[in-house]
Amino acid sequence: MFILMMECLFDEELCGDKVQRLIPGELKEELSVLDEELKKAVFTRINLVKNPLIEMISSGGKRLRPALLLICARFGQYDFEKVKPLAAAVELIHTATLVHDDIIDDSPLRRGVPSLQARLGKDVAVFAGDFIFCRVFELLTSLDRFDILHRTSRVMYKICEGEIKQREDLFNTEISFKNYLYRIRRKTALLFGLSCELGATITGAPAKTVRALYQYGIRMGTSFQLTDDLLDITGDEKKLGKPSGADIREGVITLPAIIALKTSPEKEELRHILQKKNRTTDEIQKALYIVRNSGGVEYTRNLAEIYVKKAIGSLKDLPDIPMKKVLINMSEYIVKRLL
């Protein structure tokens, strides 16, 4: 029997696994099964990458995207075995992008364990990321649904556009609010939207429901990225599991800094620091101080809350099934990470 009651237990830590406190028992069991499917999906007999890939998948993560897909699939004729390959596919898309992100950023860790590029070198890690993408298409073709394959392919190239746009905008202190939203929509929000859309599509939910769930995912994903960008400025390093100011260190200009560059009395000093390719630790700390004490923090927090409200508003005409409440609680969790 499906568990109707939601657990609304928020831990002080920002560990990704804590998001699973927001989902009912049956869905937790499905995500556990999905973990095993993900390990199978990345299995290879090539010893060089076999264990590193399994360990990366096993190291956890929020599993937000497959959770959203499984939730939204319940607005149609739900069949876990039918939905499972899609849930695995969206998580693998996310994983592959993380592998490539770590290569670009030269990140030593991912989810608390050495990143693939740190363990294997950048060249092998590139092929490992490509291997994961290939497994995604194998899962998708097994469904024999050209519409889903086509839709996923379109979103994947737009995600790549978002990543490329972020590289193009590095150290660019003239980036506009519009370009920032363009970037985070492609970089993050589209995969949230796709997860919701595909879950509802594969189980035959009405077209109106599919559209509403897609909009929910886009808005939730936008709020998620806004919150992540804000936490990089204001978050506790122990809770984040990484030093704050990583975006500034890498030259990524996010919304708190964009607003600070317009409103802070020290905006010219901030501009000078953000434009530098090589910054000292003191300069990074100074930039963080300026951004934290500008209107950018409050502006970004308010915008994240607005997108959560918009996400919840997307659900207003959907059937009042238990999973509708789960979606509301998950979207509210995003801004609670800021508290």
The predicted structure's pLDDT at residue 27:
87
pLDDT band at 239 (very low <50, low <70, confident <90, very high): low
Extract the tokens encoding 32. Answer: 């556990």
Largest CA distance in the chain: 61
pLDDT band at 235 (very low <50, low <70, confident <90, very high): confident
Instruction: Name which residue leads in pLDDT, 330 or 337.
Output: 330
- Report how far apart, in Å, the C-alpha atoms of 191 and of each of 48, 64, 94, 118 are: 30, 10, 8, 26
| Residues 287 and 35 sit within 8 Å (Cβ to Cβ) | no
Chain centroid to CA 156 = 14
The predicted structure's pLDDT at residue 173:
97
Let me know the angle formed at the C-alpha of 8 by 5 and 12, rounded to the nearest 5 degrees: 160
| Residues 91 and 98 sit within 8 Å (Cβ to Cβ) | no
| Residues 262 and 256 sit within 8 Å (Cβ to Cβ) | no
Residue 278: partners with Cβ closer than 8 Å, 6 or more residues away: none
* Rounded percentage of the chain residues whose pLDDT exceeds 70: 90
Residue 144 pLDDT greater than 50, yes or no: yes
Q: Which domains does the chain have, with CATH numbers?
A: 19-144 (1.10.600.10), 183-318 (1.10.600.10)
- Report how far apart, in Å, the C-alpha atoms of 245 and of each of 70, 182, 259 are: 34, 22, 16
